[in-house]
Amino acid sequence: MPLTERNQSRKSSALTRSGPLPLYHQVAEVFRQRVAEGEWRPGETLPSLDALVAEFGVARVTIREAIKLLRNDGILMPERGRGTIVTAGIETRKPLRVESAIADLLDLYRNDKPEVATIEEGPRTPNVAIDEATLADSYYYLKRAHFRDGVRYCIISLYIAQDIFRRAEKAFRTELALPVLSGLSDVTIARAWQQLRIVKCDAETASEIDYPLGDPIARVKRYLLGQDNDLIYFADVRYRGDCIQFDMDLKV
């Protein structure tokens, strides 16, 4: 089924000529989103090249390069005499919940078993300033990626107070850190909070999670304090925007 009539009056305003992403990459991401949301379905034919040029206000070569990107991903297929066909949908990934209570977060992590790959590690002090807390004498740093179904869905930079890290080094290196920390009988979490912001994906993160530069990602900073008001755990997590969901109960 051709999509021309459905799209002929639309004028896209999603592109920016001052951003870091080339125009053809931005167009490709709009195409990808339309397929993911079911607006363009497998078996349908895209609007004509002229219609897409008019909609996006770009050169014909820009549209062709965008189609080429999605052809390489197996999503679109240009066919001589027929136009460009949507060949496959995009699998919707199960979103990750971001909990707002430490008990809920620990329950979530205890039941979650992602693949974990360490990128970097060693002694390092976090660059944080917290008025109501003090820093420990030293920290151990772990930067690693979490995978699910072969997809790197987040990059996490962990700082764990060195004396706590040494009590369970192997577990901290191979398992999710929060359940390990909460399972240490002589460690008490006196206070915990986290901050979530939506930011643009920087070049380093884009390469680490295979995600478009400049696209929205969720950045979560998580703080855990011990009984003496010392920062025993700090995490800086960057999640793919298509892999996270924040649920919030609203008071009535």
CATH number of the domain within which 122 lies: 3.40.1410.10
Q: For the segment 79-88, what is each residue's pLDDT rounded down to a tens digit?
A: 888 899 998 7
Is 252 within a domain? Answer: no
Last residue of a domain, one of 49, 65, 86: 86
Q: Are residues 81 and 170 in the same domain?
A: no
Say which CATH number the domain at 38 has.
1.10.10.10
Q: Are residues 211 and 114 in the same domain?
A: yes
Is 91 within a domain? Answer: no
Last residue of a domain, one of 60, 86, 112: 86
- The pTM (predicted TM-score) of the whole model is 0.60
Rounded-to-integer distance, Cα 2 and Cα 84, Å = 10
Q: Are residues 58 and 115 in the same domain?
A: no
Name the pLDDT band for 12 (thresholds 50, 70, 90).
Answer: low
Q: Are residues 126 and 213 in the same domain?
A: yes
Is 148 within a domain? Answer: yes
Please count the other Cβ atoms lying within 10 Å of the Cβ belonging to residue 96.
Answer: 19
Name the pLDDT band for 7 (thresholds 50, 70, 90).
Answer: very low
Q: Are residues 138 and 213 in the same domain?
A: yes
- Compute the chain's Rg from CA coordinates: 23
Rounded-to-integer distance, Cα 64 and Cα 28, Å = 10
Name the pLDDT band for 9 (thresholds 50, 70, 90).
Answer: very low
Q: For the segment 124-178, what is each residue's pLDDT rounded down to a tens digit?
A: 999 887 777 899 999 999 999 988 888 888 999 999 999 999 999 999 998 888 8
Question: Domain residues for 138?
Answer: 96-245
pLDDT above 70: percentage of residues in the chain: 79
Is 250 within a domain? Answer: no
Q: Which residue has the higher pLDDT, 106 or 65?
A: 65
Structural domains in the chain (count): 2
pLDDT at 13 over 50: no
How many angstroms from the chain centroid is the CA of residue 16? Answer: 22
**One-letter amino acid of 78:** P
Q: Are residues 47 and 73 in the same domain?
A: yes
Q: Are residues 114 and 218 in the same domain?
A: yes
Q: Are residues 80 and 151 in the same domain?
A: no
Q: For the segment 29-51, what is each residue's pLDDT rounded down to a tens digit?
A: 888 878 877 788 899 999 999 99
Q: Are residues 112 and 65 in the same domain?
A: no
Last residue of a domain, one of 86, 110, 133: 86
